[in-house]
Structure 1
Amino acid sequence: MTKKKKNVVIVESPAKAKTIEKYLGSDYKVVASKGHIRDLPQKKFGVDIEKDFEPEFELMPGKEKVVAELKKVTKGKKVYLAPDMDREGEAIAWHLSYLLGLDEDEENRIVFSEITKDTILEAIKSPKKIDDKKVGAQLARRILDRIVGYKISPILWRILKNYNTSAGRVQSAALKILVDRERAIFKFKPKEFYKIFLKYMDQDIPLVKINGKKYKKESINEKKKNEILKDLKETKFYIEKVEEKEAKRNPPQPFITSTLQQSAISKFGWSSKKTMQIAQKLYEGIETSDGPLAFITYMRTDSTRISEEAQKKAFNYLNENYGKEYTGHFKVKKSKKKIQDAHEAIRPTDVYIDPAKAKKLISGDNLKLYTLIWNRFIASQSSQSIYTEKIYTIMDASKKYTFEVVGRKRKFDGFEKFWSSSTGEKEYELPKSGELKNIELKTEKDETKPPSRYTEASLVKEMESKGIGRPSTYATIITTLLNRKYVIKEKSNLIPTLVGFIVSDLLEKNFPEIVDAKFTAHMEEKLDKIEIGETNWKSILSEFYKDFEKFLNTTEQKMKEKSLDFYYKSNIKCSKCNVEMELQFGRYGLFLKCPECGENKGLSKGILGVTIDNNVYLSEDNILPEKGKEEKTGDKCPECGGDLIIKSGRFGKFIACSNYPDCKYTAPLPARGKCPKCGSKVHKLKSKKGKIYFKCSECGEMFWDEPSDYRCPSCNGPLFYKKKNKEEMLYCPDEKKFFKESELNEL
């Protein structure tokens, strides 16, 4: 006869339940709530603002069976609530306690940061009461998000019809960061400058000081370059000094949520969402040949703290496997933010399960991420790496110009055995003193670069530095922006769409606090204060709503009076009267309209564009021709004999049959020039990673730049279309020269 179990432990996921149950023995049954159980209603606001923001909760769709099963299995048993240790987990425990009719003063809440036998047995011995302050912080966040989403989203729907728009408290501030960066890139004007360096035995030694002072690289224009070359024309160069010193590099801190996401995105090309999904599996437990096993500690954390026990185990592992010289003295990097000391950094639950042993238990992406976490943790516990640095200072005879180079040779790898440093070895072969002979003075033309677009990794870093969001929300914020089509991902870059710009503009003009990074960060700090008991969650909501309501009422009044400032003049000119067309918000989406003759032009749904003040800048490639007025290629469809036309789609222009949808024939758009190798037609294609390339239809030769039918006037080689300073020019890869098409036409 099966022994009746006296205790029930409730966690969120079945995987976690399976891992924990094997440690607790026959007196315990571990079951899963399968995530959140109750939430605000899906089909109504669900917050009574007049009654001090009283929330209304209902069971989430599909959770009726789960709750019925939990009630059945917990009847007459001692219940332990063991969801995750963050705010969301505390709220799940609070909702479960209410639904199961548990005593709210009972000590039945257990928390742990890793799923190992010792930790679980220790946690079950010391249950606590549900933390009302932590629950309050979660309720405040949830109600804040509901107020913003429920009150602002309908305004967006009325303006941007036929688009999947919504406003979110934190996502809007993140969108503003991306929009501001894209505007800066669009406005950027490159400035030419010159690099000056000495060439000695294939070694480049840059100019670093003029008259003993460092200079800005862009200050060396052509005039200044010529002055410097004139000064240095007949001079001799001498080794002024060689300074040798020992340089130590400190180990990295162990992973927190943001740095784990950044590393996985950069190293593996994953999304932040995928990284967190795999980390969740490693934390909750994976089925292995040794049974269900949890590999890492809790993965939503902003603390770099490591428990004393984990530090001791890492010390012993390093000492036993690599020697005492590889053991380090770990120090937690101080942070200005208030971080819960209960949280630890992300680390392996057992450091002795190194990547070689892990390979026998897990595979694929699970093994990849675990190896990354293990390497980072063991590096953080290891010793410093040591380099010998030699700084060579070279000056001209007048001592006006200083050239300098730093050589590095590693003496001891330390933590770099496990984690590569950004500073590698670089050796220079230079004499210790005297004149440098057989030296060549060189210049190189360059130009200033625009700011880089954000990737998921750099956006997470930016959000963390600005205090926007928390470890549990970074991945969700980015996923929401992508799902709403406010942002697209091209290769690894995040680019805001025209709809993203318009939503950000609307919010900035009418709800400035919602897109303000400082305000959003300040609100996150207030939520943290609720969690540590410094303030009350209802007072924070009341304070927020007082100002928010003013903005809301003003915007709704403007909507009624049709006085909402929402006008954009475009850079696209009307084909009939050459007047700049205006952006319109129609029933079926965005389109352009001529203010003079009323001609319309459709815009593709995911169109990219930049708004600056009341102007919108678009590419002609994304303008949809009117039905029946598409450009004909002059060829017939090989499948049905209909006319072939040029159409615009999500990935640009392509050839299609005019008899669509009856005939679905499509073909890539040909390049403007023939194949430089065999003279055949070249197709314009797009790789899986979103990069445009060109491929010959006959010989298969591939090109990154579009071939042209022009030849280089210097070497008679093929020229390719390539952009320089946002202007399309013709480029010779052999001569590395640019030519204007108009100049070539005159030859």
Structure 2
Amino acid sequence: MNLVIVESPAKAKTIKKYLGKGFEVLASYGHVRDLIPKEGAVDTEDGFAMRYDVIERNGKHVKAIVDKLKKADALYLATDPDREGEAISWHLYELLKGRKVLKEKPVHRVVFHEITKKAIQEAVDHPRDLSMEMVNAQQARRALDYLVGFNLSPLLWKKIRRGLSAGRVQSPALRMIVEREEEIEAFVAREYWSIEADLNKDKHAFSAKLSQLNGEKVEQFTITNEVQASAAEQALSTAANGELDILKVEKKQRRRNPAPPFITSTLQQEASRKLGFTARRTMQVAQQLYEGIDIGNGAVGLISYMRTDSVNLAEEAIGEIREYITANYGKDQMPPEPRIFKTKSKNAQEAHEAIRPTSIGFAPKEIAAHLSKEQLKLYDLIWKRTLACQMIHATIDTVSADLGAGDAGVFRASGSTIAKPGFMTVYMEGSDDQPKTKDDEKMLPPLTVGEKIKLLLIRPEQHFTEPPPRYNEATLVKALEEHGIGRPSTYASIISTLQDREYVEMDRKRFIPTDVGRVVSKFLTNYFTNYVDYSFTAKLEDELDAVSRGEEEWIPLLEKFWKPFKEKVDYTGENVKRSDVTQEPTGESCPECGNELNIRLGRNGRFIGCSNYPECSYTRDMGDGGERAEPEKVEGRQCPECESDLIIRQGRYGKFIGCSSYPACRFIEPLEKPVDTGVECPQCHKGTMMQRKSRRGKIFYSCSTYPKCDYAVWNEPLKEPCPDCGWPMLTMKTTKKRGTEKVCPQKECGYAEAVEVEEAANAD
């Protein structure tokens, strides 16, 4: 009997089906060892020796592996094909070697990028040795994260507030969000005007935009006020006299090529844009599709490995896709030669593939009945993108026309039509924060030079420049990737860490730094500039990649990092006062005693207070100009209890809606609307579980029919029945001691199943 070890029970079940008799497949449930959770786990005085211990929650799984190995002839380590997977295999090997159960038994490392019968059997037939280069890269990353966390976190406690922590990778991400917010706050809007002409030809209405005025090209800020706009309108209307002359018509044809197949980062971005998935949810659902879904004949992996930065497709996969296109869309919808995409990342592992269906023949509509709604949505996205990337380009006809208003000015009308949709029949890539334009959708009537077109109206329109938008998950992932911060597999954990530590919060799916997040970012930027610098962080990632390729040694890398970092920590601890970090001068004088006012950090966030405290106790809220600002009214609503105006109040736990007649009327309600998880309430079966925030700011989930149904849980609900007691819903629970688990919310049941840890989940 041969023993095969994978990370998760779902994967074990799928692989067992393909290997059959003679093989036993067990799950390690993620990492089996980690650094001891105390100081000294990385000994900087002893060559960065790392002290590991078995993860408590996985002790029983290690024991099961030990017991099975005693009866096995050989051991196959089949964890994921990346650094984290390599490290899991190595840690398990070291544990088993230490317990003397390996003896002379052969140990093989097998790697596959999709869970299909062919891939599994080929991997077992062609095993390799453990890659110590990849293991050492993972150890170096873990050591760096440990050293940063265990040295910076106590400093944050001392200089800012107890309970804070800092991480090597998420700190530059926090800086990015804070800097964007500061950009927005410093932004000064500028007024500008555009002028459009409404036209009609043969009952076909269209519009044109002013492009020249008095012989000069019209730029964004050519017309900057209403007086100029009115004068231009008057001059143009007089010169046109009800008609515009067609001066020039340009017809062009352009091609649009399909986007490459998904890599981890682009999948996270597109799932955020089109499906509203968080990065973490995207990776969880992708993991399920990769590990195997029962689609009628037992479990089968539906997609290739979902942690990749390569856009390569296997020749066999391309051949199958081209056959599918020919059979279902026609040979004319396929280019003569397969499309080959180039990977942008210089550190991409070209042996990996892009994220694709394991078989393009598994069309979404044919397997929909076997997938959950989320699984189907994500699989459909992956399937369509993969199919489209091997189809012909789209052909788009564009028309532009210049229309003159006498000598006063020239208007330009543009439009386009899709002549041949090509790949767009199947899939179109989404975009982020693009300026709205109707040109791509607008069709123009037939236009000929020399014709006169009826002018209906000349319309001046006022505009104001807008600040850069706050990051959402898609744009933050894109920015992290562009700066080389972290790696695609770590983006979900970076975002979750920032939210869990309450350094950022979400507003309309956009990131806003909290007051604490701002102070932490300012502290790290001022006193640890190098370590939150984008290029420094990216360079360190490159060096870790070089270690994984065997081009650099990991101990010298740690030595180079550690000494200057420790000196900086020691110097800051001894020479920087807490007030230097948590207070910021405003340049204003205190109205009560004349001393300078400072921006200070308190229990409930930042406020303005006198620098002469405690002798002077003057304070005011941020944003107040001495007099307290009028509270913001909730438009169109009155208090349901006394019919007074509702206003937005600031309390200890943030903003909320309250009655303006307080304290005579004590009506309140949360400012944030609850988010529907789509999971049916397991108690009443009438409502759905809604994500809400408690008065103390903690997230919980309760039935949408409350108060008729009072069912509530603290952990994220999952649309999965408990396999032990049959309760219609499980929850996702994460603790420091046991990690992330699927648990039954019924206390008397006690069901718990460990969830595979994402690569580099400990990166921060």
Tell me which interval the TM-score lies in, with the shorter structure as reference length: 0.7 to 0.9
Letter in 1 for 2:416: R
Structure 1 counterpart of 2:636: none
Cα deviation, 1:631-667, whole Å, max 9, x if unaligned, reads: xxxx9x99xxxxxx9772545245599999xxxx952
Question: How many Å separate the matches in 2 of 1:260 and 1:312?
Answer: 23
Deviation of residue 456 (structure 1)? 0.7
Question: What is the CA-CA distance between 1:261 and the residue it aligns to?
Answer: 0.8
The answer to whether the 8 Å contact 1:582/1:593 transfers is yes
Aligned residue number for residue 294 of structure 1: 301
Matching residue of 1:710: none
- Structure 2: how far apart are the matches of 1:402 and 1:618? 52
What residue identity is the alignment partner of 1:471? Answer: P
Match of 2:221 among 194, 218, 222: 218
Match of 1:540 among 557, 569, 586: 557
Once the 2 structures are TM-superposed, how far is the Cα of residue 363 of structure 1 from its aligned partner? 2.6
| Structure 1 SS opposite 2:369 | coil
Does the alignment pair 1:687 with 2:682? no
Partner of 1:405: 413
* C-alpha distance in 2 between matches for 1:210 and 1:443: 13
Q: Describe the shift of the 1:371–1:653 C-alpha distance in structure 2 as closer, same or farther (beyond 3 A).
A: closer
- Tell me what 2:433 maps to: none
**Unaligned stretches of 5+ in structure 2?**
431-438, 632-638, 643-647, 677-764
Report what 2:452 is aligned to: 436
How far the C-alpha of 1:206 sits from its partner, in A, is 1.2
The residue identity in structure 1 corresponding to 2:445 is E
For the residue of structure 2 that corresponds to 1:218, the secondary structure is coil
CA shift, 1:585, in A, is 5.4
Among residues 278, 282, 294, which one is paired with 2:289 in the alignment? 282
**Structure 2 partner of 1:726:** none
Please identify, of 148-157 and 36-45, the stretch whose mean Cα deviation from structure 2 is larger.
36-45
- Displacement after TM superposition at 1:204 (Å): 2.1
- Is 1:67 aligned to residue 62 of structure 2? yes
1:397 CA displacement: 3.4
Instruction: Report if aligned partners of 2:394, 2:421 keep a CA contact under 8 Å in 1.
Output: yes
Tell me if structure 2 keeps the 8 A contact 1:571–1:618. no
CA distance in 2, matches of 1:402, 1:529: 58
| 1:197–1:122 CA distance, 2 compared to 1 (3 A) | same
Deviation at 1:595, TM superposition (A): 3.3
Change (3 A) 1:335 1:653: closer
Question: What is aligned with 2:175?
Answer: 176
**Structure 1 length-normalised TM:** 0.79
Q: What secondary structure, in the 3-state scheme, does the structure 2 residue paired with 1:406 have?
A: strand
Whether 2:322 is the aligned partner of 1:304: answer: no
Structure 2: how far apart are the matches of 1:241 and 1:493?
44
Taking the TM superposition and a 5 Å limit, the aligned residue runs for 1:162-561 are 162=162, 164-201=163-200, 202-209=205-212, 215-222=218-225, 224-225=228-229, 228-229=232-233, 231-236=235-240, 237-328=244-335, 329-398=338-407, 401-420=409-428, 424-439=440-455, 440-559=457-576
Mapped partners of 2:323, 2:492: distance in 1: 35
Alignment of structure 1 residues 605-684 onto 2, 5 Å: 648-655=651-658, 667-668=667-668
The equivalent residue for 1:57 is 52
Q: For residue 448 of structure 2, what is the amino acid of its counterpart? A: K
Distance 1:214-1:357 versus aligned 2 partners, 3 A rule: farther
For 1:515, give the aligned amino acid: V
Q: Which residue of 2 aligns with 1:568?
A: 584
Counterpart secondary structure, 1:100 = helix
Equivalent residue number for residue 711 of structure 2:
none
Change (3 A) 1:301 1:600: farther
Task: Give, in whole Å, the separation in 2 of the partners of 1:540 and 1:300.
Answer: 25
Structure 2 CA distance for aligned equivalents of residues 22 and 149 of structure 1:
43
Q: Please say if residues 18 and 117 of structure 2, whose CA atoms lie closer than 8 Å, have aligned partners that are also in contact.
A: yes
Q: 1:106 to 1:238 in 2, by over 3 A?
A: farther
Match of 1:42 among 9, 23, 37: 37
Question: In the alignment, is the contact (CA less than 8 A) between 1:97 and 1:103 conserved in 2?
Answer: no
Whether 1:598 aligns to 2:616 is: yes
Partners of 1:548 and 1:622 lie apart in 2 by 48
Q: What amino acid maps onto 1:235 in structure 2?
A: A
Report the Cα offset of residue 25 of structure 1. Answer: 1.1
Deviation at 1:543, TM superposition (A): 1.1
Which AA in structure 1 matches 2:414? Answer: V
Distance 1:211 1:535 in 2: 64
Unaligned stretches of 5+ in structure 1?
A: 1-5, 604-608, 611-615, 624-634, 639-644, 670-683, 691-747
TM-superposition CA deviations, 1:605-645 (whole Å, max 9, x none): xxxx79xxxxx99997899xxxxxxxxxxx9x99xxxxxx9
State the distance in 2 between where 1:212 and 1:114 align.
Answer: 63
Q: 1:80 aligns with which of 59, 64, 76?
A: 76
- The alpha-carbon deviation at position 489 of structure 1 amounts to 0.8
Cα drift, residue 256 of structure 1? 0.8
Return the letter of the residue paired with 1:234. T
Task: For 2:628 and 2:104, locate their aligned partners in 1 and report how far apart those are by CA, in whole Å.
Answer: 63
Shift of the 573–256 alpha-carbon distance from structure 1 to 2, 3 Å rule, reads farther
Determine the C-alpha separation between the residues in 2 that align with 1:13 and 1:265. 26
Distance 1:656 1:288 in 2: 54
Secondary structure of 1:568's counterpart equals strand
Answer yes or no: is the 8 Å Cα contact 1:105–1:129 preserved in 2: no
Shift of 1:35: 0.3
Indicate the SS of the match to 1:200.
strand
Q: Determine helix, strand or coil for the equivalent of 1:369.
A: helix
Q: Write the deviation string for residues 357-378 of structure 1: whole angstroms up to 9, x where unpaired.
A: 1213213111111111111111
The match for 1:9 is 4
CA distance, structure 2, for counterparts of residue 437 and residue 280 of structure 1: 59
Q: Secondary structure at the match of 2:109?
A: coil
Contact 2:292-2:300 at 8 Å conserved across structures:
yes
Tell me how far apart the structure 2 counterparts of residues 491 and 577 of structure 1 sit (CA, whole Å): 42
Contact 2:415–2:440 (8 Å) recurs in 1: no
Q: Contact 1:159 / 1:585 at 8 angstroms: preserved in 2?
A: no
Q: Cα offset for 1:312?
A: 0.4
Shift of 1:563: 8.0
Aligned residue identity for 2:376: L
CA displacement, residues 158-190 of structure 1 (integer Å, 9 cap, x when unaligned): 23334x421111100000000000000001110
- Match of 1:108, SS? strand
1:435 Cα offset (Å): 4.2
Tell me which residue corresponds to 2:147.
147
Give the direction of change, closer, same or farther, for the CA distance of 1:589–1:431 in structure 2 (3 Å limit). Answer: closer
Aligned to 1:627: none
Could you tell me how far apart the structure 2 residues matched to 1:98 and 1:207 are? Answer: 73
Give the C-alpha shift of residue 234 in structure 1.
3.0
Q: Shift of the alpha carbon at 1:212?
A: 7.7
Structure 1 residue matching 2:14: 3-state secondary structure: helix
Corresponding residue to 1:91 among 76, 87, 91: 87
Q: Is the 8 Å Cα contact of residues 590 and 602 (structure 1) preserved in structure 2?
A: no
Aligned to 1:100: 96
What's the CA shift for 1:556? 1.7
* TM-score where L is the length of structure 2: 0.77
Paired residue total: 638
Distance 1:396 1:657 in 2: 56
Distance 1:211 1:352, change over 3 A: farther
SS in 2 for 1:45: coil
Match of 1:694 in 2: none
Q: Which amino acid aligns with 2:89?
A: A
